[in-house]
Amino acid sequence: MSVREFRVALVGCGRIARNHFEAIAGLDGMALSAVCDTVEERARTAGEQWGVPWFTSYDEMLKQSECDIVVVATPSGLHPAHGIKAAQAGKHVVCEKPMAISLSSADALVQACDDAGVQLFVVKQNRLNPAIQLVRRAIDRGRFGRIYMANATVRWARPQEYYDQAPWRGTWEFDGGAFMNQASHYVDLIQWLVGPVESIMARTATMARRIEAEDSGAAILKFRNGAIGVLEVTMLTFPRNLEGSITLIGETGTVKIGGTAVNKVEHWQFASYDDDDKLIDQASTTPPNVYGFGHAGYYRNVLAVLRGEAAPDTDGRSGRKSLELILGIYESAKTGHEVPLPLRSKM
């Protein structure tokens, strides 16, 4: 019996689209079937490069292309609307981060996929970095004992030219700032590894970029398990990306995963030995950019889920957790007050 191949259409042929195209092309069981972008040149270039029909109208792509899955890689503020349309057309949805920029629209997307009986996947590829997977296993095996401190640091560079390339970048309506866009994977990782956050204190600022949202900020997190966390984010690092890291300090273990995109084991020490300790050198990778290699692994999970062989690594409800944390950071920065989670109002 032949194994079914799933056809994938993608909307939004911007910076992140190549990671999706390459991951799909490298996976037996999936095939790109169509691409769409409102900018005709981008749509045509992607379609011709990957040998598939291209569209400038999303509605037309949904009507005319043969697909089982729609990848939503458009500006963040458009993710819910595009995902909901795909679900209503009976397509599974793979949504880039963040899944939305408000909880109400995130919930609407989850509900639409539930109502249509389709899967919703939210891309959190950094969870699949080999070094991060080692940390997760160490936590699950209790190697840290009680976790005391958790720190996620994103010291990257995004010049003004980056924001000027597209009018939606750095806007509240379609993008958000450094926490919502560039650092959203790190917000996701810290809560995925350490657990639910009880409350947040945060400060943000727009110091050097001509954008509506923040280019820098810091947040102090109080976790339900008693741990304290710090998130430090800036897009103003001179002259290039310096660090994307996460550090955990526990009763019987200390680990730092660094590099520019949580791709390198920089410190690994525990009170007792585990065979995973022999894997730390090979767990370090050298990705070509801050997006890393995780999309390929993410699509392997998507394929396994659709074949009934696995549970989703990150579904809509899981993706919502990190969005709520980001919105809590923004609420604290705006009000100057400590903000408890879950958020009382649907933002």
pLDDT > 70: percent of the chain: 96
Whether residues 189 and 108 fall in one domain: no
Whether residues 206 and 336 fall in one domain: yes
Residue with the two structure tokens 């900018």? 39
Structure tokens at 56: 């400038």
Whether residues 181 and 107 fall in one domain: no
Does residue 233 sit within a domain? Answer: yes
Whether residues 270 and 201 fall in one domain: yes
- Is residue 36 within 8 A of residue 8, CB to CB? The reply is no
pLDDT category at 344 given cuts 50, 70, 90 is confident
Whether residues 134 and 197 fall in one domain: yes
Residue 19 to residues 28, 132, 244, Cα–Cα distance (Å): 16, 19, 19
Whether residues 278 and 191 fall in one domain: yes
pLDDT category at 122 given cuts 50, 70, 90 is very high
List, for residues 13-23, the tens digit of each pLDDT value.
Answer: 999 999 999 99
Q: Positive or negative CA dihedral for 294, 342, 80, 86?
A: positive
CATH for 31: 3.40.50.720
Does residue 264 sit within a domain? Answer: yes
Does residue 40 sit within a domain? Answer: yes
Does residue 85 sit within a domain? Answer: yes
Per-residue buried b or exposed e for 180-209, using 16+ beta carbons within 10 Å of the residue's own CB: bbbbbbbbbbbbbbbbebbbbbbebebeeb
Which residue range is the domain that position 72 belongs to?
6-122
Residue finishing a domain among 60, 88, 122: 122
- Is residue 301 within 8 A of residue 309, CB to CB? The reply is no
Whether residues 82 and 182 fall in one domain: no
Q: How many distinct structural domains can be found in the chain?
A: 2
| Average predicted confidence (pLDDT) for the chain | 95
Does residue 154 sit within a domain? Answer: yes
pLDDT category at 3 given cuts 50, 70, 90 is low
List, for residues 65-75, the tens digit of each pLDDT value.
Answer: 999 999 999 99
Phi, psi for residue 252 in degrees, rounded to 5: -135, 25
Whether residues 136 and 75 fall in one domain: no
- Is residue 332 within 8 A of residue 202, CB to CB? The reply is yes
List, for residues 161-175, the tens digit of each pLDDT value.
Answer: 999 999 999 999 999
